[in-house]
Structure 1
């Protein structure tokens, strides 16, 4: 069986003696994977996180049991009308004409519409069946008649729920209203607490609604719905890519020029980067992994890490060239050492990303897999292809007498970097024990503070801010982003519509609903609700929608049914508690059948109760209060809904972050112990390698808390990623130290290792921080936060590696020398 030295020797031979063959092989693989680029699909929004969660499955059960049975699925569009007074005649007429125009277009597949304008028109003329008749009714009414109709309509609780919070029934005025238009849309079914991105039949219809109203001149009406939201999610992905990737490439190019200082080396570096991106995205297409908002972070990551590997390869090669070695010999010496370091670095980085496979959230698992595969591809390209291409071009340049540029390695003794790197070495010589004790004690304090970092998951993380930065408006095509309105619309609804902007909780009630206590249980559960639940006017009962409300509505309209309910209301509280089966049967045989089916199952063993929550209440408060109400039911009750699902995801994010961190630490420690046993026969060097990065993780968590950056769907990966990426910096130093320690004394080995790799580490740190930090330019907040935190983690990892590692190596060396002396 071949040893690792044999494998490295074969690679050295291929790179040095047969570079053309290596280049052709890599280009062929690139051509094959290019074919997979066309198969890459996109997925965006929050539904990718909620799918498969227990809370989401419960919500799916509710929609399956209580959903309406249409041959075609139903989608709804909200028309948000804003005016000085939407209840005045001009505004009512504009809304009615907008509804008429939408209903007249077959392509919009309008099934029905509901608005305050419809209600007012019918109160003025109960015989008005068509939109033309409703428009005539409102047009022919006096302002006094319209105001009277509004006051009569306000007696029904449902009327005010579609009006803004400033609705005044006596003055018959409100500044905004929401109308709902339903469409028959094949393929619109399926429920999720989140929203999917991408093109869909619903998106197409709602975009047509926007176009129709624009042509009609309905400037006071904003179109909103799941299709509009989905389209905006998809636009965010493309816009962010068009801004982030070129910006990352441009900034990295600047550092490449500084690091390589040679046009041929610069070209090879750029070609290698493009290949890494093609391989990764081609693999995604072949594997069927959709591209999501989280994966926008992968291209800058690969660009930055690729440059890291490239700088190390070229810099190490130049070190040997300055010693007087030839092209092939210099590269073989460089790759002989760097391939081992690259193996260690790649292994720890891949383990850091793959630790995210422990997450219960699919997108986080996909991110871990794609990033791990991308890093593996990157090290193959920069560890084998780039050195082979460098040998090939340098031999060609020697044969043709083409001048070599930038032959000096970074971090020489007289350079600014070299001067800085001298201080940690001096500390390692003079007071390594004191320095490490101070670092451990300060890290303990910082770690305690970092445990208070918050956790969050909400739809706004994936949407652009309401007010995008002004510089985005100045970008030329094709970089100019779309105009975004959804966030502003959501904020407007939340600020102005308590019943719409607030969240809700759906209680899925299961049990024998014909039992006498069934409806009383629902009624009593709503009494004196927790603080975040909205109460009915002049009542101590929660504002709910349930089968009890449908019974009340039909009883108000039908005297015979009202008498039936009264006869079976033993305690005279308005809720029947006897002969419930008969009451259900009569209700289901009435015109209220469809409404009843929204709240009671066919077998009458399941019910749905919807509680409205205050818009000002936090997600955690709503869910905590839902659990209180859940325990009040005599039947089995399960709370679900968007707030519950999102809170479950929030808890899962924290679990994911902690679990992946623990797994990354454990696997990385084992991997490093194995590597240093295999390569150096000194396994404890693995702990020296890991030590500064453990300190880094504590400082990252504390920094996130200080800057109020939560652990969200993307930043939750940062702790394990910091292990994977951060170990890279100390790995280069420790591995070089291991090589040098064989032939030098302890402190000389430390100095050569730090100075020899420190320049490369500085250059790669700058490119990595720049490449990943450019994500702060992304349109969505979640990507900006990830870019900022990841860039900071790289900087901290670098500083800890070059400052703490020398003292750690000195302490390790003292321990080894004492052990070997005994």
Structure 2
């Protein structure tokens, strides 16, 4: 007795023990299912590339205190003109509402969390009014000092007249009293509105002016050239200092407030805009948007790309909301986002709907919410549809309610085992795993159909003397080897994804393999044991459980399934020619398939109208993120759409700045850079930062200019000292472009290029060229590497392509070795393994050619299609080859063996293919685009594999038999009567003369 026969007899003879053991195991393993977590972040797909590691160093070293552990929400106002007074006021009121919401306010960053043009216009109005008031006060104080100086001159002249005797004491006293009174009037008028401290300081300045003027007058009266007198010169300097003390000194706090970055409260900002008349509002808006003072105008960066410089009209503007994520590690859109951030961003979007203006709210939390919901909605739609389709298919194939129930119960058990395994091993559920239930449903029912159909065949062959238990034992022994081979080759196909550098793809391969092995256990032991017990129980009570196998007997299905055997006998050369042409076209198309790893692949489209008729539990929600993302990409600069160059080494070397300057110019001139409303490229590096600080700080400007010895805008000396001074003046700005270790050593610098409408391939190529130019001049003193999210995503795309090629090669080689070895061990020719695998190779080329024709790229799901095609497709070929060799040995005639194979096993294959195609086809109704693509292409894969196995493989098997197979008859068989026999060779069938039908 062979090994498969012993195992089959053990399962059927001890069916109750098998049931208990497997049901308990199902409960134990399934206990891990509730522990399955979910992860929808795109960062999980990043690989351990040098570029990804460089980006991690940038994120860790070049983040200021304000930006560390933060995420941004873009609130975009859209309309005919979003720069009207009413629109700006509405946005400020919206900000007030955000602040009033406790859960939203709790997430906002500490310093300036909300910034929009509405804030900048209001602050400009307030600062303008404050500056005007301060200037008026300063002018009044200066006038008071001038009047005091003039009055003191008069007082000194009066004193001189008294001393010279020009006037007497009686004339002097009233005039002196009058002057003192004028002093008091000037002081009182000038100090109006000042506080006590300011008044005291001003009066002190007035007194100093009087004393200094008195002394200056004395020198002037005694000297012909008083200006040459050193004492006079010192008194003049003292007078200037007294004036500064009496003006700028008195208004020191007011001037500091004008230069401060502290923002007025929102109610003051609202009041400031409301109080402006139309002309003043227009002037304030023009001043806010003006680039005269600075090319790097913050307001212009908040306007859409369509804004025309100098205009006071705009169709869109953005308000940036910065949220703190101290416990989340949240980065950009692709990073993991906490529920706290997701909930707050959803609330922001909800509040925005209450305003008349059209607001678009875009952020990582909203993206995460839509991805999570789309996964859940996809499962809610696809799961029931897949099960419904399977039930309908099984109704047609089984025509028996009990067998259908057993099949569905087996599917549930496989899913419980699979998700339990994920829970116990800590594998998170992500976008890829939405396909796992559908995959396992299709494969599980495939196993079920083969077992049940073979059992039915055997029961029919055994006749009235057969038993349920005996027929099941023979059926499992006959089909068991093929199922084990199918499982092994399918597992090989999925485990080939372990070579992928992308973690989720590796996990998908592992989980799918575990699910497939589980399907073999469940439908090779648990369900057969249950069927034996149930059928014996029913037949013991007089209920006949015999059913005819699907596809056997005469009929349209049988005629359809014999197309392959008929073609192999009559037109084999035509079959070869058609296959060769299709394969050649597929190979060409395979070289043209694109690769894609974009956020759009994971974002749901708006659900079609038919979904509105679905029951409440299946009806999907609304999805806007994909359209919003497209709008943001077209009109605004996103924080995660940046390419960067990390320079590490002796970054204090002046030559580094020379290289960075050249790199900045090259990047600005390239087509990948994002152009601001000023028509300037948005590029940031140590030089641009130092230039910006020099424009605002006089002392740094002096140092920067002194270090630039050849006036080319790049410092040639004292670079380290310049960096030190830069950190002292604006540490946050310096941290954006320089990394200084705790010991004070400057270890790296970076150049950041905001990207426009460029592909990841174009960006990667351009930035690598620029980085290479920087490194070429280093002589080993520094290194430069191009990185950033677009470049890392491009590497993921390349890794996907590598996964496609490597997994295909590994799968083909591994399956070839497995099949040839298995056939050789079982006494067949090893060459049969190559013949069995050849139709699968054809299917691979066909499916890749189809992907090219319909414009479907490789992504994280469709990138697994090659290994999946081999893994799934070889199952059909194995069943056909295994059945053919068994029938060939039993019947001794090629054509009879082929007909029995294609009508017996072919019928089971048709049923399993139909259910698998239908199961994967339901993914076409998924909300996620990548899942839809995966479902469509996998359904086509199954179709191609089935056609190749029942149409192409028969011709190949005939050729194999003729040249490598056993010595059998090629005579045309007689007309078949009765039902085809089981493939185990245990029963003979009668054939009579006549032509083959």
TM-score category, normalised to shorter length: over 0.9
Match of 2:608 among 469, 483, 495: 469
Give the aligned partner of residue 559 of structure 1: 698
TM-score under structure 1 length normalisation? 0.94
332-341 or 580-589, which deviates more: 580-589
1:613 and 2:755 aligned: yes
Give the aligned partner of residue 118 of structure 1: 119
Match of 2:328 among 169, 188, 199: 188
Instruction: Give me the whole-angstrom Cα distance separating, in 2, the residues matched to 1:27 and 1:460.
Output: 42
After superposition, where does 1:354-373 map in structure 2 within 5 Å?
Answer: 354-373=495-514
Give the aligned partner of residue 378 of structure 2: 240
1:707 and 2:703 aligned: no
1:503 and 2:646 aligned: no
Superposition deviation, residue 114 in structure 1: 1.6
Deviations 1:655-691 (A, max 9, x none): 0000000000000001111221222343222112111
Instruction: Give me the whole-angstrom Cα distance separating, in 2, the residues matched to 1:523 and 1:722.
Output: 51
Instruction: Give me the whole-angstrom Cα distance separating, in 1, the residues matched to 2:843 and 2:498.
Output: 22
Give the aligned partner of residue 11 of structure 1: 7
Superposition deviation, residue 756 in structure 1: 1.6
Give the aligned partner of residue 750 of structure 1: 898
Match of 1:328 among 430, 451, 469: 469
1:761 and 2:909 aligned: yes
Judge conservation of contact 2:575–2:955 (CA < 8 Å) in 1. yes
Q: Report the secondary structure of 2:31's partner residue.
A: helix
Give the aligned partner of residue 622 of structure 1: 763
Give the aligned partner of residue 940 of structure 2: 792
Judge conservation of contact 1:502–1:613 (CA < 8 Å) in 2. no
Give the aligned partner of residue 697 of structure 1: 844
Give the aligned partner of residue 90 of structure 2: 94
Give the aligned partner of residue 45 of structure 2: 49
**Larger CA Rg, structure 1 vs 2:** 2
Superposition deviation, residue 314 in structure 1: 1.1
Superposition deviation, residue 431 in structure 1: 4.5
* Number of residue pairs matched by the alignment: 809
1:674 and 2:821 aligned: yes
After superposition, where does 1:241-320 map in structure 2 within 5 Å?
Answer: 241-320=379-458
Instruction: Give me the whole-angstrom Cα distance separating, in 2, the residues matched to 1:385 and 1:220.
Output: 59
After superposition, where does 1:697-736 map in structure 2 within 5 Å?
Answer: 697-736=844-883
Match of 1:153 among 280, 288, 306: 288
Going from structure 1 to structure 2, the CA distance change for 1:185 and 1:430 (only over 3 Å counts) comes to closer
340-349 or 627-636, which deviates more: 627-636
Judge conservation of contact 1:413–1:419 (CA < 8 Å) in 2. no
Going from structure 1 to structure 2, the CA distance change for 1:212 and 1:816 (only over 3 Å counts) comes to closer
Deviations 1:167-189 (A, max 9, x none): 24443111211111223332132
After superposition, where does 1:389-468 map in structure 2 within 5 Å?
Answer: 389-404=530-545, 407-432=547-572, 435-436=575-576, 438-440=578-580, 442-465=582-605, 467-468=606-607
Instruction: Give me the whole-angstrom Cα distance separating, in 2, the residues matched to 1:139 and 1:475.
Output: 50
TM-score under structure 2 length normalisation? 0.78
Q: Which residues of structure 2 form unaligned runs of 5+?
A: 131-262, 970-997
Give the aligned partner of residue 25 of structure 2: 29
Superposition deviation, residue 760 in structure 1: 0.6
Instruction: Give me the whole-angstrom Cα distance separating, in 1, the residues matched to 2:921 and 2:423.
Output: 27
14-23 or 240-249, which deviates more: 14-23
Instruction: Give me the whole-angstrom Cα distance separating, in 1, the residues matched to 2:848 and 2:643.
Output: 33
Judge conservation of contact 1:690–1:727 (CA < 8 Å) in 2. yes
Instruction: Give me the whole-angstrom Cα distance separating, in 2, the residues matched to 1:193 and 1:137.
Output: 36
Give the aligned partner of residue 166 of structure 1: 306
Superposition deviation, residue 509 in structure 1: 1.6
Instruction: Give me the whole-angstrom Cα distance separating, in 2, the residues matched to 1:502 and 1:237.
Output: 24
Q: Which residues of structure 1 form unaligned runs of 5+?
A: none
Judge conservation of contact 2:829–2:964 (CA < 8 Å) in 1. no
Match of 1:533 among 673, 680, 686: 673
136-145 or 102-111, which deviates more: 102-111
Instruction: Give me the whole-angstrom Cα distance separating, in 2, the residues matched to 1:451 and 1:244.
Output: 32
Judge conservation of contact 1:508–1:606 (CA < 8 Å) in 2. yes
Instruction: Give me the whole-angstrom Cα distance separating, in 2, the residues matched to 1:153 and 1:347.
Output: 69
Match of 1:133 among 244, 261, 268: 268
Match of 1:584 among 716, 723, 728: 723
Q: Report the secondary structure of 1:194's partner residue.
A: coil
Give the aligned partner of residue 604 of structure 1: 746
Instruction: Give me the whole-angstrom Cα distance separating, in 2, the residues matched to 1:425 and 1:661.
Output: 29
Judge conservation of contact 1:50–1:193 (CA < 8 Å) in 2. no
1:382 and 2:523 aligned: yes
After superposition, where does 1:343-354 map in structure 2 within 5 Å?
Answer: 343-354=484-495
Q: Report the secondary structure of 1:509's partner residue.
A: strand
Give the aligned partner of residue 141 of structure 2: none
325-334 or 65-74, which deviates more: 65-74
Give the aligned partner of residue 481 of structure 1: 620
Give the aligned partner of residue 985 of structure 2: none
Q: Report the secondary structure of 1:680's partner residue.
A: coil
Superposition deviation, residue 78 in structure 1: 2.0
Deviating 4+ runs (over 4 angstroms) = 190-193, 211-214, 216-219, 535-539, 817-821
Q: Report the secondary structure of 2:857's partner residue.
A: coil
Q: CA RMSD in A?
A: 2.3
Superposition deviation, residue 530 in structure 1: 2.3
Instruction: Give me the whole-angstrom Cα distance separating, in 2, the residues matched to 1:816 and 1:512.
Output: 70
Q: Report the secondary structure of 2:564's partner residue.
A: helix
Instruction: Give me the whole-angstrom Cα distance separating, in 2, the residues matched to 1:488 and 1:449.
Output: 31
Superposition deviation, residue 320 in structure 1: 1.5
Superposition deviation, residue 654 in structure 1: 0.4
Match of 2:887 among 740, 762, 768: 740
Instruction: Give me the whole-angstrom Cα distance separating, in 1, the residues matched to 2:749 and 2:728.
Output: 18
Deviations 1:591-641 (A, max 9, x none): x221121111113231121112222x2221122111222223245221111
Judge conservation of contact 2:333–2:640 (CA < 8 Å) in 1. no
Instruction: Give me the whole-angstrom Cα distance separating, in 2, the residues matched to 1:796 and 1:570.
Output: 72
After superposition, where does 1:651-690 map in structure 2 within 5 Å?
Answer: 651-690=798-837
Instruction: Give me the whole-angstrom Cα distance separating, in 1, the residues matched to 2:785 and 2:485.
Output: 49
Going from structure 1 to structure 2, the CA distance change for 1:243 and 1:495 (only over 3 Å counts) comes to same
Instruction: Give me the whole-angstrom Cα distance separating, in 2, the residues matched to 1:817 and 1:646.
Output: 51
